[in-house]
Structure 1
Amino acid sequence: MSVYTDRPWLSLYGEGQPADITPEHDTLLDVFRASLAAAPDTVAIRYFDGALTLADLDAASDALAVALTGSGFAPGDRMGVYVQNDPAFVIGLLGAWKAGGAAVAINPMNKAAELTYLLSDSGATALLCLEQLYESVARDVVASGETKVQTVVTCSPLDHQSRDDARVLGDVVRSRQEGTLDLAELLETHAGRTPAPVSLSGDDVAILTYTSGTTGRPKGAMNTHATMVFNACTYREWMRLTPDDVVLGVAPLFHITGLIGHVALALLLPCPLVLAHRFHPEVVLDAVREHRPTFTVGAITVFIALSGVEGVGREDFSSLRTIYSGGAPIAPAVTDAFEERTGRYIHNIYGLTETNSPSHAVPMGVKAPVDPNSGALSVGVPVYNTVVRILGEDGEELPPGEVGEIATSGPQVVPGYWGRPEATAESLPGGELRTGDVGFMDEQGWFYLVDRKKDMINAAGYKVWPREVEDVLYGHPAVREVAVVGVPDPYRGETVKAFVSLKPGSSVTAEEVVAWAKERMAAYKYPRSVEFVDELPKTTTGKILRRELRDT
């Protein structure tokens, strides 16, 4: 047996944690209906001063499903969901499933060309869209005839609440869009009606989530009901969550973290999901103070922003019993600073779109170790039913301590990419996901993420992983955020450059930053140049975009 199939990390699970779990439901619609039957009056969503119960969600999604099927939406069809973190997003998912179809999760920051590509590639025949986004982007896309969209349902972030927060909704004006169905109107028109029964299985696609497209055109990961249900159960069991918990929705719902760690989890428990349209640190902090959530998961940049709000104190975070962070590597200095400021420890979690969020997580009540050689903070150990291997350049299995590509097998791994058999065969040979991430496992079974393969810097023949340099720079007391990239160099081929944003009120020179790293790193690793920026470019999930910095 290999070291990986023997699963040496099992001994690191938290006390009483099982090695394997079996979900009790096949589809997310089954999950929702079981929770509805058990507790229909449970609050499902808290949105500013508004609240929707499970019964409210059921009635609203029934009405949407009736409207969709009446407009020609058939079982197996796809509906794009082009919405922020609003109740309409959850209603849209449930409505698409009740009509026998699937959703296509779309980033609300996407512009016309991106929206056109996602709708046409997925073959979506319907679109649920914010009024503002329809007016500014989607109307022309649908009118172009380049997609198969026949039915558009528009909605407003002003729905389902009455206390409009000017900080995030100040520019929102209701604008009924000609040629579309209005969600609020159709909920009234079809109130009390139920859609015809449909048959869904765990193998059916629940949501298409598109990869970032860093190595080509974005690919639609086929997140099935079974893969999503499994990892919703993983969150529940690993984080030891119950219906008494409250989930804070800081991750975008179109992203896999938000889909599983927020929506699917809250429907499974069931418990309230706190939403605030989009991430605004002061607004989210006010929601924490008002609704007292107990659990959240999001990018580390979210927690840096929240802990940096003026006047924030430990009492503000006292209700958050459990915090996990994934989506981007975390420097040990950042978790230490957050704990010092808030009194709360951030547990690491790791996964991809193709693993439906977690494939690894730090066990509850345990602090992740730091690798003594690289200074990297462990991303945890593989979660339930999951085997992870480290592979060399030729696909050979590497022993503990050796750095190679992370390859993941488990019931949370997607079966493939929508309409991309070649890409599926390349990235998922035999159902094992080749992640494109480089890392290693230590002798105890802890896994460490080194970096993305494509981000490696070759400086005069030496390999430099940006993550290692970033972790060192995060230790500087003036540094708020940092990204390291390789830039052309006439002598070394490539050399190391750091882009740095500073903490408010801090001052430091580029030479001082270079000297800080030079004292702590090998000569070929420390940055030769530093550029200060007000803000680093990020995805909507908070992941820093190194490629944009390289391009500049």
Structure 2
Amino acid sequence: MTTYADRPWLARYAPGQPSDLIPEFDTALDLFRSAVDAAADKPAIKYFDGELTFAGLDAASDALANRLVAEGFSAGDRLAIYVQNNPAFLVGLIASWKAGGASVLINPMNKARELKYLLDDSGAVALLTLDELYDEVARGVLAEGSSVRTTFTVSALDGQSRDDARLFDGVTRFTPDGTISLVEVIENHDGTRPSAVNLSPDDVAVLTYTSGTTGQPKGAMNTHRNLTFNAQTYREWIGLTSDDVVLGIAPLFHITGLVAHVMISLLLHATLVIAHRFHPAVFVEAIREHRPTFTVGAITAYIALADSGGAQDGDFTSLRALYSGGAPIAPAVADRLEGIFGAYIHNIYGLTETNSPSHGVPFGVRAPVDAESGALSVGVPVFNTVVRVIDDEGNEVPIGDVGEFATSGPQVVPGYWNKPEATATSIPGGELRTGDVGFMDADGWFYLVDRKKDMINASGYKVWPREVEDVLYGHPAIAEAAVIGVPDEYRGETVKAFVSLQPGKTATADELVEFCRERMAAYKYPRTIEIVEALPKTTTGKILRRTLRDQEVAK
């Protein structure tokens, strides 16, 4: 095993940094209140042409917390947040804590089937969403019945004055019938603060959903301790200060966006720049206007910025600290992007269950490349973190041998929401079995080789094949279906499906792609579908995804 404290060689990469981080805040709410006390009039959020100060964010979250309580929200309840990278995300997140509860973070690309599962599984009693998402998706889900009693809506355009047609074409401001306008709640706020609540470091702060070995999404219980610790990790590991400006390039519902954008901004009292959703040309303009200094994003986002065609000389010069996670970086790509951005893009590695980083390349250090595989290292374990490389029996393998990463530390979640069996399997004794395989070299650098299971990694988003297959099986013409990940120059991997048809039934590949697109988030549905006479199987009838992957490689 290796820890930062046990490896003296790390001192030469990060001189002066402590091997152990001492928690400064018991809860994320304490951390936020410290920001308000220290920088009340400083912009907390810049959203296109609009901004919200820390004092304004405090008042807005007070207003929503008061209304939540008035609507019956009580300690331990959950508020589902189903929005894009909008100021409403932070208002809802903080309001849920002020009301004594937690937030459930939901991907705004999720369709009705996915939204219903997450609302039902989390038992959320309130929902905060964009008006168009309510109209197009949530209204029908709630009509079917759920635990949600109160719905707040906000326009995608609220909080900014430039209605950018690249993002908001056809979007209008309105408050759907049966919902409460968040803007009106904030505007009518009388200045009263919500009653004091008793939150502890081990209380759940957010539920973030991830897929596991069963293929069903599981709610990772991200605690206040988890969030505050890894916010400090980012600050100390990279050397960030209150003078930094954070570029919110990752979706805020994702663990990277939550910790590396929202939590680090609150901890630093730094301004967070967001722009609804990722659009390369829009973000180039935001960088030019707001001059951010730090961000963490998928490598595909950096590639898109570099290739947007709208950048001018000097646009990227403010970006001093760049990190990438979610998908491996090819050394050649890292070199090309460094030439464009003028700054080296450091690897960082973690999972939803580790609240973002468990490993990272120390700031200012270039990650080594494994001579045999050509892989770029994902870094070394961060503060207070123990990472073992183990075999199937849980025994540590020798240095240089491939095994599964097993991680322990204050950033590891205590378990999955209402799933004790999954918790016992995946986090035995508090040690996370990541499902990712790789190795550690003699200097303690870690290299990610492959995924232990069949999970597909598309632009940093994890896609479980069985979920896609289940949707395909809902088509009346499908007899059998198998889904795999195939290489994609832009996304790293993309989803491909193989299907056989029922006798006498017909369907085209384009028709089946459209069938899935209508029922799944954009990153999940298969971009290509191949109709075959029969799928390869074992003697017991199990479909062999491995054979399909091998066939694709051989093409």
Q: So what's the TM-score if we normalise by structure 2? A: 0.82
**What is the CA–CA distance in structure 2 between the aligned matches of 1:189 and 1:314, rounded to whole Å?**
45
- How many matched pairs? 484
Cα displacement (A) at 1:190: 2.5
1:194 and 1:391 map into 2 onto residues whose CA distance is 50
Provide the secondary structure at the position in 2 that maps to 1:253. Answer: coil
Distance in 2 separating the partners of 1:46 and 1:449 = 36
Q: d(CA) in 2 for partners of 1:13 and 1:547?
A: 44
Q: Which amino acid aligns with 2:111?
A: K
Provide the residue aligned with 1:430 in structure 2: 429
Query: What is the rounded CA distance, in whole Å, between the counterparts of 2:89 and 2:521 in structure 1?
Result: 16
User: Does structure 2 retain, via aligned residues, the 8 Å contact 1:300–1:542?
Assistant: no
1:96-495 superposed matches below 5 A = 96-145=96-145, 147-212=146-211, 215-313=214-312, 315-455=314-454
CA RMSD of aligned residues (A): 2.8
- 8 Å Cα contact 1:299-1:542 kept in structure 2: no
| Equivalent-residue separation in structure 1 for 2:328 and 2:529 (angstroms) | 18
Unaligned 5+ segments in structure 2 are: 466-481, 492-516, 531-544
Counterpart AA for 1:432: E
| Residue 68 of structure 2 corresponds to residue 82 of structure 1 | no
The whole-number CA distance in structure 2 between the counterparts of 1:61 and 1:413 is: 28
Alpha carbons of structure 1 residues 544 and 334: separation in structure 2 relative to 1, 3 Å: farther
2:31 counterpart residue number = 31
What letter matches 1:30 in structure 2? D
- Report how far residue 311 of structure 1 moved: 4.4
In 2, Cα distance between equivalents of 1:389 and 1:83: 37
Secondary structure of the 1:45 match is strand
SS in 2 for 1:399: coil
What's the secondary structure of 1:438's corresponding residue? strand
Q: Matches of 1:79 and 1:3 in 2, distance apart?
A: 38
Shift of 1:85: 0.1
- Distance of 2:104 and 2:267 partners within structure 1: 21
Q: Aligned in 2, Cα 1:167/1:160: closer, same or farther, shift over 3 Å?
A: same
Tell me by how many angstroms 1:7 deviates: 3.5
In structure 2, relative to structure 1, the CA distance for the partners of 1:444 and 1:24 (3 Å cut) is: same
Q: SS of the residue aligned with 1:384?
A: coil
Q: 1:40 matched to which residue of 2?
A: 40
In the alignment, structure 1 residue 68 sits paired with structure 2 residue 68: yes
CA distance in 1, matches of 2:72, 2:529: 41
Mean CA deviation greater in 431-440 or 179-188 = 179-188
Letter matched to residue 266 of structure 1: S
How far did 1:23 drift?
1.9
Equivalent residue letter for 1:357: S
1:134 counterpart letter in structure 2: Y
CA contact (8 A) 2:69 2:99 kept: yes
In structure 1, distance between residues paired with 2:365 and 2:5: 22
Q: Paired residue for 1:459? A: none
Aligned to 1:93: 93
The CA deviation string for residues 213-251 of structure 1, in whole angstroms up to 9 with x for no partner, is 574100000000000000000011111111100000000
Cα 1:547–1:198 change in 2 (3 A) is: farther
Q: % of aligned pairs identical? A: 63
Change (3 A) 1:502 1:453: closer
Corresponding residue SS for 2:453? helix
SS in 2 for 1:115: helix
2: CA distance, partners of 1:547 / 1:455 = 18
- Given the superposition, is the C-alpha separation of residues 376 and 455 from structure 1 closer, same or farther in structure 2, using an over 3 Å criterion? farther
The one-letter code of the counterpart of 1:240 is: G
Q: CA offset at residue 5 of structure 1?
A: 9.2
Which residue is 1:10 aligned to? Answer: 10
Instruction: Report what 1:513 is aligned to.
Output: none
Residue aligned with 2:336, SS: helix
CA contact (8 A) 1:3 1:399 kept: no
Does the C-alpha gap of structure 1 residues 391 and 303 become closer, same or farther in structure 2, counting only changes over 3 Å? same
SS at match of 1:437: strand
Is the contact between residue 2 and residue 444 of structure 2 (CA under 8 Å) also seen in structure 1? Answer: no
When residues 286 and 3 of structure 1 are mapped into structure 2, their CA distance, relative to the original with a 3 A threshold, is: closer
Answer whether contact 1:314 1:342 (CA < 8 A) is retained: no
- Using the alignment, how far apart are the partners of 1:85 and 1:109 within structure 2? 12
Matched-pair contact (CA < 8 Å) for 2:406–2:433: yes
Q: CA deviation at 1:106?
A: 0.1
Alpha-carbon displacement from aligned partner over 1:128-187 (angstroms, at most 9, x marks no partner): 010000001101111111x10000000112111111111111221112111111001111
One-letter identity of the residue aligned with 2:14:
G
Q: Contact between 1:251 and 1:541, CA under 8 Å: does it hold in 2?
A: no
Q: Residue 315 of structure 2: SS of its match in structure 1?
A: helix
Offset of residue 191 of structure 1: 3.2
* Alignment check: 8 A CA contact 1:204 1:224 kept: yes
- Aligned partners of 2:2 and 2:387 also within 8 Å: no
Residues 311, 177 of structure 1: CA spacing in aligned structure 2 closer, same or farther, 3 A cutoff? closer
Contact 2:44 2:54 in 1 (8 A): yes
> Match of 2:85, SS?
coil
| 1:81 alignment partner, SS class | strand
**Structure 1 residue 257 displacement after superposition:** 0.2
Which residue identity lines up with residue 211 of structure 1 in the other structure? T
DSSP-derived class of the 2:433 partner: strand
Q: Report the residue type matching 1:258 in the other structure.
A: G
* SS of residue matched to 1:241: coil
2:315 and 2:438 map into 1 onto residues whose CA distance is: 35
Equivalent residues in 2 for 1:487-506 (5 A)? 499-501=487-489
Structure 1 Cα separation of the partners of residues 111 and 522 of structure 2: 17
Q: State the 1:262 CA deviation.
A: 0.3
Separation in 2 of the partners of 1:386 and 1:547? 41
Q: 1:300 and 1:433 mapped to 2: Cα distance?
A: 25
1:235 alignment partner AA: Y
Once the two structures are TM-superposed, the CA of residue 12 in structure 1 deviates from its matched residue by: 5.3
Distance 1:281 1:139 in 2: 31
Q: Per-residue CA shift, 1:442-485, capped at 9, x if unaligned?
A: 000100000111249xxxxxxxxx99xx9xxxxxxxxxxxx9x9
Change (3 A) 1:389 1:263: same
2:349 touches 2:359 (CA, 8 Å); kept in 1?
yes
**Any residues of structure 2 matched to 1:539-550 within 5 Å, and which?**
none
Whole-angstrom distance in 2 between the partners of 1:433 and 1:74: 31
Contact conserved, 1:12 with 1:381, CA < 8 A, in 2?
no
| 8 Å Cα contact 1:253/1:262 also seen in 2 | yes
